[in-house]
Amino acid sequence: MALTTYVEAIRQGIWEEMEKDERVFVLGEDVGIYGGAFKVTAGMLEKFGEWRIIDTPISESAIVGAAIGAALMGMRPIAEMQFADFISCAFDQITNFAAKCRYRWGAGVPIVVRGPSGGGVHGGPFHSQNPEMYFVHTPGLKVVCPSTAYDAKGLIKAAIRDPDPVIYFEHKFLYRRVKEELPTDDFVVPIGKASIRRPGTDISVLTYGAMVYNALDAAKELEREGIDLEVVDLRSLLPFDKETILESVKKTNKVILLHEDTRIGGFAGELAAIISDEAFEYLDGPIRRITAPDTPVPYSPPLEEFFLPKVSDIVYVARELYAY
């Protein structure tokens, strides 16, 4: 069986949902003739036509606004942000309208707003951000961050089928670096369910996105020293799988919270509060955070490498915590 890349998995998921449901369509900048900035929609214009693959002006607020209107009329739009950083231009439409329609008058807004996020490709401060926490803080939204090709396909399909707005962040560093065999039959990955990527007994590493692979690499290195990491891939940040998180912490009694996003207001802080509230008596050491520093993402390759959490950071903190 051929291996499928992360980016191709997203493309397959969208393609299959469009074949199954004529209400599904894509709109965004360069999604049609060009096939998308990262070729997620390549070939779709020829297959589905210009009424379902819609090239738009460079206006994220217009893209999401049109998607919301179409969703309220019974359609299932997928709005592409060429880079996730530019989702800020549609912040009002997403947080003040799409997220609140269900609460205000019972109307679902079944849209998917998807876009490439994250660093590691020297994209600079306007093409490398991880903007997930703006939306995790917004009731009424769902936020997912797949790390594998299987999850990328399963979560995009779940997001398209969801009756409410889903923000789907795909890490561009993983697009063509991550590959795996995918089932040929239809499948979805449930939103709100974490996955244990590596069982362990000594320290739980709770993470998501590209940092899952840093955690797994650190676990391999630490295994030679007799330190056994459990790597938990959150997959969904809103809703998130509190049960799996607490079970892991109660098993290992020590926890590292790892994410690529900056520190203040990052998801690690929220998880630390929940663990402290609900699993404090199980802890045998301090809750440790490994994150990016509170600066914009640097363009300079050496500075970006310093900025992003590294395998060596995880190894260092895990050694300290293991010895505590």
Domain of 115, CATH number, reads 3.40.50.970
Residue 104 CA to residue 277 CA, distance in Å, equals 31
Helix axes 267-279, 242-252, angle to 10 degrees: 60
Domain assignment of residue 282, yes or no: yes
**Of 125, 145, 180, which marks where a domain is finished?**
180
pLDDT more than 70, % of the chain: 100
Domain assignment of residue 162, yes or no: yes
Domain count, the chain: 2
Give the pairing type, strands 24-28 and 53-55.
parallel
Same domain, 219 and 316: yes
Same domain, 167 and 259: no
Same domain, 199 and 171: no
Domain assignment of residue 301, yes or no: yes
**Confidence band of 42 (pLDDT split at 50, 70, 90):** very high
How many CA atoms lie less than 13 Å away from 59 in the CB half-sphere? 9
**Of 180, 210, 238, which marks where a domain is finished?**
180
Same domain, 35 and 62: yes
Peptide bond into 239 cis (omega under 30): yes
Residue 275 CA to residue 272 CA, distance in Å, equals 5
* pLDDT tens-digit map of 18-31: 999 999 999 999 99
Residue 52 CA to residue 48 CA, distance in Å, equals 6
Domain assignment of residue 165, yes or no: yes
* pLDDT tens-digit map of 186-244: 999 999 999 999 999 999 999 999 999 999 999 999 999 999 999 999 999 999 999 99
In this prediction, residues 120-149 reach a mean pLDDT of 97
Residues labelled catalytic: 127
Q: C-alpha 62: how far from its chain's center?
A: 23
**Of 180, 213, 243, which marks where a domain is finished?**
180
Same domain, 71 and 117: yes
* pLDDT tens-digit map of 252-293: 999 999 999 999 999 999 999 999 999 999 999 999 999 999
End-to-end CA distance of the chain: 46
How many CA atoms lie less than 13 Å away from 14 in the CB half-sphere? 30
Same domain, 240 and 264: yes
- CATH number of the domain enclosing 311: 3.40.50.920
What is the model's pLDDT at position 2?
A: 87
What is the pLDDT of the chain when averaged over all its residues? Answer: 97
pLDDT > 70? residue 1: no
**Residue 8 sits in which domain range?**
4-180
Same domain, 260 and 143: no
pLDDT more than 90, % of the chain: 99
Cα separations in angstroms, 250 against 246, 270, 280, 289 = 6, 18, 9, 18
Same domain, 107 and 213: no
Cα separations in angstroms, 290 against 81, 87, 140, 214, 235 = 28, 25, 28, 11, 18
Domain assignment of residue 315, yes or no: yes
Other CB atoms closer than 10 Å to residue 306's CB: what's the count? 12
Same domain, 168 and 232: no
Same domain, 157 and 216: no
- Three-state SS string over the chain comes to CCCEEHHHHHHHHHHHHHHHCCCEEEEECCCCCCCCCCCCCCCHHHHHCCCCEEECCCCHHHHHHHHHHHHHCCCEEEEECCCHHHHHHHHHHHHHHHCCHHHHHCCCCCCEEEEEECCCCCCCCCCCCCCHHHHHCCCCCEEECCCCHHHHHHHHHHHHHCCCCEEEEEEHHHCCCCEECCCCCCCCCCCCCCEEEECCCCEEEEECCCHHHHHHHHHHHHHCCCCCEEEEECCEEECCCHHHHHHHHHHHCCEEEEEEEECCCCHHHHHHHHHHHHHHHHCCCCCEEEEECCCCCCCCHHHHHHHCCCHHHHHHHHHHHHHC
In this prediction, residues 88-93 reach a mean pLDDT of 98
Domain assignment of residue 207, yes or no: yes
Domain assignment of residue 140, yes or no: yes
**Do the beta carbons of residue 160 and residue 78 sit within 8 Å?**
yes
In this prediction, residues 144-169 reach a mean pLDDT of 98
Same domain, 142 and 269: no
Same domain, 203 and 300: yes
Domain assignment of residue 36, yes or no: yes
